[in-house]
Structure formats: structure tokens, C-alpha cells
Amino acid sequence: MAWDPSDYLTYADERGRPYGELLARVAVEPDRVRRVVDLGCGPGNLTALLGRRWPDATVVGVDSSPEMLERARRDHADVPGLSFARGDVRTWTASAPVDVLLSNATYQWVPGHLDLLPGLLAQVAPGGVLAFSVPGNVDEPSHVLRRELAATAPYAMFTAGVADPAAHDAAAYLGVLAGAGAQVDAWETTYLHVLRGEDPVLTWISSTGARPTLEALPADLRERFRSELGELLRAAYPTTVVGGEPAVVLPFRRVFVVARRVDGVVTEQ
């Protein structure tokens, strides 16, 4: 599946805010941060923040999408110590212990990712941090309507088995990582994104949660699907007035976890 960096960056500020708030809770002494890795770095606009926060560290963004990596390398070549590498977050392993290991809006695409967390924590240096966030909105109309429509004819024969994002609540992540021996700070936030323009919710999900479904459809059905889904989303997310201008309010729940490895022992569950 191909990802489109330009589409993804349409709402760069809204998508970037959770990353900034996650990063603000990562409290590691600057002089001990030497290796930083961002798993699922996408177009690299947020990974570049890591290079600026820890200018003396080696920062690596990892992603499986050639399109995303090309954009990342082109846009952020001026950030010292920052590089990008192709890799699969399901099987990624560090060549040496990492002081800060981050991931934003990535592991919802990995089935069974709870089982991967102790192994990720084990790759963090003692005193270092594993921090990630995932969307927690898979039960919202933006996902439910897409799944329901994709399961109907004539779409179902093409969309059966496509990737579908899924995540857990903060308590589940806390339980797994605390059980592995980490000090864990886990929380949830629901943002109210004020979106403007034509069919903004459809635009938002077309570059993320709905993209695997859209990519699975042949071109003629893809446009038909977009049209039908857009109509459903307009009913679910009606236009209102915010600040004197037409807008659509998109509630978006996010789940955050910051896990500090407190010693050299990690319990594999």
C-alpha cells in the first residue's frame, strides 16, 4: 500500500499536536540522550523535532513507506544528526540500546501489538523511555461508517481483510508495561479538531484510517465509495459555526503512554 505524504500533511498541525504533548512528558536528562529512534516516522516533520530537542544525539526515523521516507529526507536534510531508514515496526530491533524510543500513530496498524511492548522496552537503555501514542477513536462514526460501507456490495469483495486500525485503552498499556518492570504514565485525551473546507472529515481519514480501504478498491469503485462515504460523514459530522465561520468539529480520542525503564530487568510476558 502506498502512502501519500502530501495528503497526510494536510492537517499537519492537528496531527502534530499529540506528538508534541507526548514529547513534553518525556523527561530524560539531556546529557544522557545519545540515541533516539522514531518508529513509524512518516514524512519526518515530527521526527525533526527530536533532532532539535536533542541536537547532540543520533536521531533515526524508521518507516516502511518509500514515499514517506523520500519526503522526510528531502524536507529535513538540514537537521544535524537526523537520518531516516526503511524498516518494519513489527520486527524492528535496535543495534544498540536506545535512550528515547518513540512512536506516534503507528502501532494501531499492528495486530497484537500489546505483545510487542515488552520487547520494545527491552531495547531501551536503563533510565531511558519508551513513549508512544495511538488513536483511540476506532468506535467513532469516522471508522464505523467506513467499515460498514466497505462490508456491503459491491465493495466487500475487494475490501475483505484490508488493514483496519485498532488500539487499546490506557489501562491495558499500563498493565503490560508495568508488568514488564517499567514506571508508566498512561493517559487519554479527546481533542476537538475544528476542520474547515469541503468534506474535511473525509479528507482527514482518506490519508490515514480509510486509506487501506480506498487503495483496495479499483478506481471506478473508489470514487463511488468516496462519494457514498462522504455523504454518510456529512450527516454524522454536520457543519456548524465556529468563530463565525463554517466548520466541522471532529472529536478525536488519543491514548498516550510514557514508560521509563528503571533497571536492567525487563519481564517478557
The 10s digit of each residue's pLDDT in 179-237 is 999 999 999 999 999 999 999 999 999 988 899 999 999 999 999 999 999 999 999 99
Residue type, 249: V
Beta bridge pairs of residue 246: 241
**Is residue 31 assigned to a domain?**
yes
Going by pLDDT thresholds of 50, 70 and 90, the confidence category of residue 78 is confident
- Given this model, what pLDDT does residue 11 score? 66
- Does this model's pTM top 0.85? My answer is yes
**Is residue 136 assigned to a domain?**
yes
The 10s digit of each residue's pLDDT in 85-118 is 999 999 999 999 999 999 999 999 999 999 999 9
**Is residue 269 assigned to a domain?**
no
Q: What is the CA radius of gyration of the chain?
A: 19
**Is residue 173 assigned to a domain?**
yes
Domain enclosing residue 14, as ranges: 5-261
**Is residue 9 assigned to a domain?**
yes
**Is residue 84 assigned to a domain?**
yes
CATH number for the domain that contains residue 136: 3.40.50.150
The 10s digit of each residue's pLDDT in 158-182 is 999 999 999 999 999 999 999 999 9
- Mean pLDDT, range 61-74, rounded to an integer: 93
- Mean pLDDT, range 241-255, rounded to an integer: 96
**Is residue 187 assigned to a domain?**
yes
Rounded alpha-carbon distances, angstroms, from residue 237 to 37, 160, 178, 200: 37, 26, 38, 10
Q: Whole-number mean pLDDT of the chain?
A: 92
Number of domains in the chain: 1
Q: Residue 195 and residue 239: Cα distance in Å, rounded? A: 10
